[in-house]
Structure 1
Amino acid sequence: MKSLDVARTALGNTMRSKLRTALTVLAIVIGAFTLTITSGLAAGINQTVDDMVAGYGEEDQLFVMPAAAMGMGEDTGPGPQEYDPDAARAESEFGQAMLSEADIETLESIEGVTNVDPIFFVSPDYMEIDGTQYTFSDIGFPADAPAMELVAGEAPAREAAEITIPETWLTVFDENAEDYEEVDPEIALGQTVEIGISNMVYEQDTVEAEIVGVSTQNLAGIGGSPMPSHALNDELYEIQNSGLDIEREDAFVQAVVDVENLAENEQAIKDALQEEGMLGMTLEDMLGIIQSVIDAIAYVLYGFAIIALLAASFGIVNTLLMSVQERTREIGLMKAMGMSSGKVFGLFSTEAVLIGIFGSVIGAGLGLIAGFAANGALTAPGGPLGNVGGLTLFALNVPILVLTMILIIVIAFLAGTLPATRAAKKDPIEALRYE
């Protein structure tokens, strides 16, 4: 019997007991479906993160902030901690740990650092659009502007008094719109707004700015609030820090540090920052937290899928053992007509492999259909995740998908070796006498 004949016979044998075969295939389908969904989810989120990192530009940059602001200050053990007047004053004024001018000088002195761009913390009172004032206390950091996902316009120019607004603000430009999705984002571009901010003695002043872009919030949260240019942010800070006769030391919420050859110097500079009580992170580091959570969830789902496949393998063993028992006389006849034990083993192994192929193809197909359908429904405008810019929830990872199908087929083959071995070892004389 040629290999093609073996495959054709195996296919016919799997169809003898359709219900039993269908139930066995269904168990494999569940595992294949779960593996496909899980790998697609991990691929989608990782693709989103990669796109965001790639979109940030080619500059080698670290975002530096006080380690205490991230809950990673020096562990002094039990008991009271030594008083640091500069840190205490900055934290009392701004509600969080801040970088001082001395910290900026320290950053500039670190070997490998080519430029330090400190970012002031500002808290405006309102933004006035067409004569109406809107609460405006949450504002983005200018250094994050290149990572924004824009639906219209462009990022603010560094030296101009420009700002972007989130797309959720678009309803202020169309009083008849019930939802921001009904408003063309181009309508906001070129509009002049006034930003009100209070100084140290609660006297308000205003600054004019031009809206140059409309953003949507991405996976890292960037773009969900108005984003000022560096020049606008600095001007707002000067007003916020004025009003007293005494000169106050500047404090910075973070600093963007350009590093020469970041790939080689990253760890050395991070270690130097840690010694100075500061924390340096790349955008990839920050987004890596999201990746870690998704990967952890993926590993759990992978585990459940593997368990399902192992359970399905016992179904294959049971199905083929019953098939061997039912076809004992047939096996005896084939061997009596000269069919070798190896061909008999190959026949039943091929049946197991076919069951694996059926289950993997159907499961992977259903997984891809469900994954892409869910991605479209959830991330489309108006969907539950439609306001997360640049989000890809599910993506096709061809290598992982192929490996998944190969894994399932291998598991099916291994599950079929026991019944196939038993069939191959049957004595033809005894098999022909079997009732």
Structure 2
Amino acid sequence: MKSFDVARTAFGNTMRSKMRTALTVIAIVIGAFTLTVTSGLAAGVNQTVDDMVAGYGDEDQLFIMPAAAMGMGEDTGPGPQEYDPDAAHQESEFGQAMLSDEDIETIEGIEGVTNVDPIFFVSPDYLEAEGTQYTLSSLGFPADSMAMELVAGDAPSRDAMEITIPDTWLTMFDEDAADYEDIDPEIALGETVEIGVSNMVLEQDTVEAEIVGVSTQNLAGIGGAPMPSHALNDELYEIQNSGLDIERPDAYVQAVADVDGLADNEQRLKEALQDEGMVGMTLEDMLGIIQSVIDAIAWVLYGFALIALLAASFGIVNTLLMSVQERTREIGLMKALGMSSGKVFGLFSMEAVVIGILGSVIGVALGLGGGFLANGWLTGSGGPLSTVGGLTLFALNVPALLAILGVIIVIAFLAGTLPAARAAKKDPIEALRYE
């Protein structure tokens, strides 16, 4: 019997008991479906993160903040601590630890750092558009503008008095619209707004800015608040820090350092900053927690899928053992006609593989179809996750799919070896006498 004949016969034999085979295949389908959806989910979110990282361009940048602001300051234990006037990062704004001018000089002095761009923390009072004032408790950081997901316009120019607004704020320009998604984002471009900010003695002043872009919030939260240009942010800070006769030292919420060969010097730079009480993070570091959570969820789902496949493997064993029992005389006849034990083993092993192929192909197809449909519904217009800009919830991962098919076929083959070996060992004379 040729290999093609073995495969054809194996397929026909699996269809003898359709109900029993179908139940076994369904168990494999569940496992294959779960594996496919899980791999697609992990691939989709990781693709989103990669796209966001790519949005920052080719420049090697390190985002630097005080260790205390990141909850990574020195662990001094419980109870009140003695005040140290010489301690680093005593400068603070609204109770938040800040970088000082000395810190910026320290960063500039680290080998490999070519430029440092300090960012002021600004807390304006309101944004006024078309005669109406809207609460504006905070602004985005100008350094994050390159990673914004824009639905219209461009990111603010560094030296111009420009700003972007999130798409959820479009109702400022069309209050009659039922939802901001019904408003053309182009309506806001070129509009002038006023931003009100209070100084140290609570006197308000305003700064005009032109809207040059409309953003949508991405997975990292960037784009969910108005994003000022560097020039606008600095102007607002000057007003916020004025009003007193004394001169207050500048304080920065973060600094963005350009580094030559960041990939080769990343660990050294981070250690140097840590020694100075600061934390340096790449964008991959900041988004890494998202990937870690998704990867953890994926491994849990992989575990459930493998449990389903383990249960399915017992189903294959049971199905083929019953098949061997029912076809004892047929096995005896095949061997009496000259079919070798190896061919008998191959025939029953192939039946197990056929069951594995059927279940894996159906499960993968259902997983891909369900994944892409869910991705379109959840992230598409009007979907629950449509407000997360640039989000890809499910993506095609060809190597993972091939691995899933391979693993399932191997599991099916291994599950079929016991029944196949039992069939191959049967004595043809005894098998022919079996009733």
Answer yes or no: same fold by TM over 0.5: yes
Note the alpha carbon deviations across 1:249-282, whole angstroms, 9 max, x for none. 1110000001111011111000000111100001
Shift of 1:79: 5.3
Aligned to 2:391: 391
Q: What is the number of equivalent residue pairs in this alignment?
A: 434
Aligned to 1:46: 46
Report the 3-state secondary structure (helix = DSSP H, G, I; strand = E; otherwise coil) of the residue aligned with 1:396: coil
Q: Is the 8 A contact 1:34 1:301 kept in 2?
A: yes
> Runs of 4+ in structure 1 displaced over 6 angstroms?
none
Note the alpha carbon deviations across 1:133-192, whole angstroms, 9 max, x for none. 111112100000000000000000000000000000001111220100111000100001
Counterparts in 2 of 1:375 and 1:302: CA distance versus 1, 3 Å? same
Is 1:275–2:275 an aligned residue pair? yes
Aligned to 2:241: 241
Q: Is the 8 A contact 1:160 1:229 kept in 2?
A: yes
In structure 1, distance between residues paired with 2:98 and 2:68: 9
Aligned to 1:225: 225
Is 1:90–2:94 an aligned residue pair? no
2:361 is aligned with what amino acid? Answer: V
Aligned to 1:411: 411
Counterparts in 2 of 1:236 and 1:385: CA distance versus 1, 3 Å? same
In structure 2, distance between residues paired with 1:26 and 1:343: 28
Which deviates more, 239-248 or 167-176? 167-176
Counterparts in 2 of 1:79 and 1:133: CA distance versus 1, 3 Å? closer
Report the 3-state secondary structure (helix = DSSP H, G, I; strand = E; otherwise coil) of the residue aligned with 2:128: strand
Report the 3-state secondary structure (helix = DSSP H, G, I; strand = E; otherwise coil) of the residue aligned with 1:387: coil
Counterparts in 2 of 1:356 and 1:260: CA distance versus 1, 3 Å? same
TM-score, normalised via structure 2 length: 0.98
In structure 2, distance between residues paired with 1:384 and 1:130: 30
Aligned to 1:181: 181
In structure 1, distance between residues paired with 2:199 and 2:415: 75
In structure 2, distance between residues paired with 1:87 and 1:114: 23
Aligned to 1:172: 172
Shift of 1:81: 3.4
Shift of 1:3: 0.8
1:267-416 alignment to 2 at 5 Å?
Answer: 267-416=267-416
Shift of 1:58: 0.7
Counterparts in 2 of 1:422 and 1:108: CA distance versus 1, 3 Å? same
Q: Is the 8 A contact 1:197 1:205 kept in 2?
A: yes
Aligned to 1:69: 69
In structure 2, distance between residues paired with 1:226 and 1:2: 71
In structure 1, distance between residues paired with 2:221 and 2:362: 37
Report the 3-state secondary structure (helix = DSSP H, G, I; strand = E; otherwise coil) of the residue aligned with 2:208: strand
In structure 1, distance between residues paired with 2:8 and 2:299: 38
Shift of 1:75: 1.9
Shift of 1:90: 3.0
Q: Is the 8 A contact 2:89 2:100 kept in 1?
A: no
Counterparts in 2 of 1:129 and 1:154: CA distance versus 1, 3 Å? same
Q: Is the 8 A contact 2:90 2:97 kept in 1?
A: no
Report the 3-state secondary structure (helix = DSSP H, G, I; strand = E; otherwise coil) of the residue aligned with 1:389: coil
In structure 1, distance between residues paired with 2:89 and 2:65: 16
In structure 2, distance between residues paired with 1:16 and 1:137: 71
Report the 3-state secondary structure (helix = DSSP H, G, I; strand = E; otherwise coil) of the residue aligned with 2:115: strand
Q: Is the 8 A contact 1:87 1:98 kept in 2?
A: no
Aligned to 2:105: 105
Aligned to 2:7: 7
Shift of 1:80: 4.4
Shift of 1:359: 0.3
In structure 2, distance between residues paired with 1:40 and 1:306: 16
In structure 1, distance between residues paired with 2:301 and 2:70: 30
Q: Is the 8 A contact 1:67 1:73 kept in 2?
A: yes
Report the 3-state secondary structure (helix = DSSP H, G, I; strand = E; otherwise coil) of the residue aligned with 2:391: coil
| Structure 2 gap ranges (5+) | none
Shift of 1:77: 3.8
In structure 1, distance between residues paired with 2:363 and 2:84: 61
| Structure 1 gap ranges (5+) | none
In structure 2, distance between residues paired with 1:354 and 1:310: 17
Is 1:149–2:149 an aligned residue pair? yes
Aligned to 1:424: 424
In structure 1, distance between residues paired with 2:29 and 2:141: 48
Q: Is the 8 A contact 1:87 1:97 kept in 2?
A: no
In structure 1, distance between residues paired with 2:188 and 2:280: 36
Q: Is the 8 A contact 2:114 2:258 kept in 1?
A: yes
Aligned-CA RMSD value: 1.0
Aligned to 2:250: 250
